[in-house]
Amino acid sequence: MIKRKLDQNGWSYNDVARRGGISRSTVHHLATSVRLAQLPQQTTLEGLAKGLGIPVAPVQRAAAEAAGVHLYFENAPETTDPEVEILIASVHKLTPKDRRHVAVLVESLLQEDGQA
């Protein structure tokens, strides 16, 4: 997620770190680590989200997945729509490559609608 946002916007680790109020080394570590030994602190995730210009929830989910933790939110407002529930329940069945394609498509659609 981090590398994709950097590439899309032509940003450096320093750019994201400065905007998010976190260290460059933290951004680099989170961007380049395939697996995290533990979940980063909430303030780190919030800073990363701010630096990337995205909501904190996707950053939390990506960090949890990288740490081998799968988060499921019952009765969360965003899962009250049956179509959304199907998407969420099915996304883990996709290959990592296909999930990246879906993420890029969603970001593109949101940008077209002015929601990103």
Q: What are the extents of the domains in the chain?
A: 1-71, 73-116
Q: Give the CATH architecture of domain 1-71.
A: Orthogonal Bundle (1.10)
Residues 102-115: what's their mean pLDDT?
A: 83
- Cβ-proximal residues to 11 (8 Å cutoff; 6+ apart), any chain: 5
116: helix, strand or coil: coil
Q: What is the pLDDT of residues 27-45, one digit of tens each?
A: 999 999 988 888 899 999 9
The pLDDT of residue 64: 85
Task: Enter the pTM of the model.
Answer: 0.62
The pLDDT of residue 60: 85
